[in-house]
Amino acid sequence: MNAPMNELKHKLAAITRYLPPERPVVYLDYPVHLNFGDILIMRGTERFFADYGYRVVERAGYMNFTASARRAVPAEAVIVLHGGGNFGDLYPVHQHFREAVVRQFPQHPIVLMPQTVHFQSERAKELSAAIFRQHRNLVLMVRDQRSLEAVADRFSPQVLLMPDMAHQLWDDEAPSGLGAGRVELWRADIEATAPAGAAGEGGAVDWMDFVPVWQRRLFGLILRLHRLEGETDMRLGAWQAWYAYCERLTARMQAHFEPYGEVRTNRLHGMIFGALLGKKVVFDDNSYGKLGHYAGQWFERHPGIRAS
């Protein structure tokens, strides 16, 4: 299983052609929610920055990119927008934030890390595309062929096909993948397709079921800290607190998944996380085919991943 995972990680090196390591980076829209898939993407992006020697001069989510931080963006900086699965009209808060950044920084190069694109409304797609097309130096990366076809020649002349940033977390010395039984992970949101109450031997339905109440309360405090930064235009250590929290949460998730030999899921990052841990993966699709398209694009040569 090592070779396909090594290849996917090494494919991400091509990003350096569009994001020069000598330029300072402003990393925006990092996720502040308990979707572990987005946290894996964030940690993979930060690993990418570290592995290639980038200097990140600003980090902010959509709610704490303050007025003073906007004014302080260096003229030579490249703005990097977090990747994931929320490019479109299902999650308008993040899409509107990206559009605002594109409008506000017409002179700065902007790189959007790999996304899955899904618009329910053709009108919403055209309105968003009109905003993105106005920018003269914008690179949009997408995670599958269908997303490429959705945005090519509409959002930017520079659209690239690239694996998810979580693949940067892969270590060449592969995990054993040993274990017994199966853990199941099913979406419980607007992309859900699993039967109500589906659960496997791991006893969890979705990511949130792995997070104890005390840890959710701590998350609530960190979320409020982000909002307070945005309201007061003050730096209060929000991203540092969140990153420390995410590191501990990742250790907890890994400890839960490691005893099992197989993962069954309809979450894209349930599939990717299982692959990163060397597990066999059986996947069902989400509401708009995200897992099937991703697996068809990147996991065809992976012997341990198959559709249900």
Which tens digit of pLDDT belongs to each residue from 155-193? 999 999 999 999 999 986 656 667 889 999 998 888 777
Closest-CA residue to 54 (of 95, 86, 84, 12): 12
Are both 154 and 27 inside the same structural domain?
yes
Q: How far is CA 63 from CA 67, 157, 178, 246, in A?
A: 11, 29, 41, 18
Looking at the structure, do residues 207 and 241 belong to the same domain, yes or no?
Answer: yes
Residue-wise pLDDT tens digits, 96-143: 999 999 999 999 999 999 999 999 999 999 999 999 999 999 999 999
Is 90 exceeded by the pLDDT of residue 292? yes
Q: Given a cut of 90, is residue 152 above it in pLDDT?
A: no
- Is the pLDDT confidence value at 238 over 50? yes
Among 168, 189, 206, which residue terminates a domain?
A: 168
Q: Same domain, yes or no, for 65 and 129?
A: yes
Q: Which residue has the higher pLDDT, 85 or 50?
A: 50
Bridge partners of residue 306, in order along the sequence: 282
Residue 223 reports pLDDT greater than 70 = yes
Contact 127, 148 (CB under 8 A): no
Residue 26 main-chain phi, psi, to 5 deg: -115, 115
The verdict on 61 and 128 lying in the same domain is yes
Q: Do 25 and 80 share a domain, yes or no? A: yes
Whether 115 and 249 share a structural domain: no
Alpha-carbon Rg of the chain, whole angstroms? Answer: 19
Same domain, 13 and 127: yes
Q: How far apart are CA 60 and CA 82, in angstroms?
A: 10
Q: Give me the number of domains the chain comprises.
A: 2
CA 295 to chain centre: 16
Say if residue 187 is in the same domain as residue 156.
Answer: no
Q: Please tell me whether residues 145 and 187 are part of one structural domain.
A: no
**CA–CA separation, 283 and 263 (whole Å):** 8
Report the CATH number that the domain containing residue 6 is assigned in CATH: 3.40.50
- Which residues does 112 contact at the CB level (< 8 Å), separation at least 6? 80, 81, 83, 87, 98, 138, 139, 140, 141
CB-CB neighbours of 198 under 10 Å? 18
Q: Which domain holds residue 83?
A: 2-168
What's the rounded Cα separation, in Å, for the pair 79 and 54?
Answer: 12
Residues 131 and 100 in one domain: yes
Q: Residue 197: which pLDDT band, with cuts at 50, 70 and 90?
A: very low
How does residue 196 score in pLDDT terms, banded at 50, 70 and 90? very low
Give the amino acid at 98: R
Other C-beta atoms lying within 10 Å of the C-beta of residue 195: 9
- Bridge partners (DSSP) of residue 30 are none
Q: Are residues 153 and 30 in the same domain?
A: yes
Using CA atoms in the order 197, 203, 205, 210, what is the torsion angle rounded to 10 degrees?
A: 150
Last residue of a domain, one of 139, 168, 197: 168
If asked whether residues 160 and 264 sit together in one domain, one would say no
